[in-house]
Amino acid sequence: MRIYLDNAATTAIDKEVLKVMTDVMENHYGNPSSIHAHGREVRTLVEKARKTVSTLLNTAPANIFFTSGGTEADNTAIRSAINDHQIKHAITSKIEHHAVGHTLEMMEKQGLIQLSYVNVDNKGNVDYAHLEDLLANNDKSFVSLMQANNELGTLTDLDRVGDLCEQYHAIFHSDTVQTVGHYPHDLGKLKAHFIVCAAHKLHGPKGVGFLYVNPSIKINPMILGGAQERNMRGGTENVYGIAGLAKALELSYQDMETHQQHIQGLKAYMMEGLKNAIPAISFNGETEPSKSLYTVLNVCFPKMEMADMLLFNLDISGISASGGSACSSGSNIGSHVLTAIGADPEKPSIRFSFSKYNTKAEVDIVVEKLKDIFVSDHKI
């Protein structure tokens, strides 16, 4: 049996979700835009899913727009908000996901905005005083800061950013792909204009997500076509995906605390095990539970001969995780996140990310394997 510790990349689908999706595929094939009974029945499914999602997040169904996932939702929020509100200045960080970073960089290259980067420290924490400076010294800004960094796990305080954005009349978008379904979100209180979700990060299907748009802001459609999603996103809806997303979110909310405790426990157990097995090990990003996403553990290994082979070695031993190291000078490959926090390019890093399906026995096997690799590398 292989061990899967790459849940920040994607998660296994929950059987309950699969059941809901299979039923929709088999039995509800109408086009939700059709006005006949087949269509109306499927329209009801889509609207029921929207109601489930909006109720869990404490907002109105009209504020939830289904998309093809996190990337589309991020692109839509960023491009539409900036274009439709004549924004000339945007603030982000160097550790955002490429769905955000590349979109803003492109808009800057096109001369549409001036882009400022808020400072982050060597653990990926946002410098809130610098953020305030940037907001105070620029007219109406667009701010995009993620809630949890997908490589490091470091969390940003969305309430604090939201308060600052409100004070300086900025538009606030947060990439919440790694946190929706893992922490509760109260959109009745959160001062964000946009947040996003990708169902495949919470045991839902791939290729579906949503964009939340705060009713205080209006944007024009990004994808033109039919009148789907109340004219905001043309194209026949991914009906089984949407039904699966709603079920996945419902399940994550149902057992959120239990899963959080279980996963947080695994992470702490692995940290302890690794520190004992390889004392020279350290961790990238925050690890303190209140500051760190409980599903992610980014491990920085000591320098080793076989650094490039580390992930491959794990893979052939039946362990799936994802890797990255800071870019060494002149090199384009590597993690832009680890580079931005000043990680040592000579030390290999691996991101282990957990889900409700992982066990302590799996962690034991991984720690043992890593210890073996290091002993044979003669570096400890």
Ligand X SMILES: Cc1ncc(COP(=O)(O)O)c(C=O)c1O
Catalytic residue numbers read 327
Taking the least distance from each CB to ligand X, the nearer of 94 and 371 is 94
Helices (H) and strands (E) in the chain, counts: 12, 13
Part in contact with ligand X (CB under 6 A); list of ranges 40-48, 172-180, 303-311, 370-378: 172-180
314 part of the interface to ligand X, by CB under 6 A: no
Q: Is 335 in the site for ligand X (CB under 6 A)?
A: no
Distance CA 119, CA 141 (A): 16
- Binding-residue pattern over the window 17 to 56 for ligand X, x denoting contact by CB under 6 A: ----------------------------------------
Which region, judged by CB under 6 A, interacts with ligand X, from 67-75, 83-91, 237-245, 326-334? 67-75
Interaction between residue 177 and ligand X (CB under 6 A): yes
- Based on the shown chain and the rule CB under 6 A, indicate whether residue 71 belongs to the binding site for ligand X: yes
Considering the complex, state which of residue 69 and residue 273 has its C-beta at the smaller distance from ligand X. Answer: 69
The answer to whether 380 touches 309, Cβ cutoff 8 Å, is no
Residue with smaller CB distance to ligand X, 175 or 250: 175
Instruction: Tell me: does residue 209 bind ligand X (CB under 6 A).
Output: yes
Contact 14, 201 (CB under 8 A): no
Cβ-based nearer residue to ligand X, 52 or 76: 76
Q: Least separation, in Å, of the C-beta of 304 and ligand X?
A: 27
What SS3 class is residue 6? Answer: strand
Q: Which two tokens stand for residue 242?
A: 């949407």
Residue 292 contacts ligand X per CB under 6 A: no
Cα 93 from Cα 146, distance rounded (Å) = 9
Closest to ligand X by CB, 74 or 286: 74
Rounded to 10 degrees, the C-alpha dihedral 349/353/358/362 comes to 0
101 binds ligand X (CB under 6 A): no
- What is the Cα 23 distance to its own chain's centre? 28
Q: Kindly state whether residue 355 participates in binding ligand X, applying the rule CB under 6 A.
A: no
Instruction: Give least dist CB 20 to ligand X, A.
Output: 19
Q: Residue 175, interface with ligand X (CB under 6 A)?
A: yes
Tokens of 235: 């194209």
With H, G, I as helix, E, B as strand and everything else as coil, classify residue 143: strand
Residue 323 phi, psi (nearest 5): -120, 180
d(CA 178, CA 195): 11
From the list 27-35, 101-109, 161-169, 175-183, the region that binds ligand X by CB under 6 A is: 175-183
Among 45, 131, 195, 198, binds ligand X (CB under 6 A): 198
DSSP string, 219-239: ---SB-SSSHHHHTB-S---H
User: How many residues sit close enough to ligand X to count as binding (CB under 6 A)?
Assistant: 13
CB 58 within 8 A of CB 186: yes
CB 139, min distance to ligand X, A: 28
| Contact of 371 with 277, CB cutoff 8 Å | yes
Rule CB under 6 A: choose which of 79, 97, 259, 262 binds ligand X.
Answer: 97
Closest CA to 66 of 41, 32, 35, 34: 32
CA angle (54, 258, 242) in 5-degree steps: 30
Residues in contact with ligand X by CB under 6 A are 69-71, 74, 97, 99, 146, 150, 175, 177-178, 198, 209
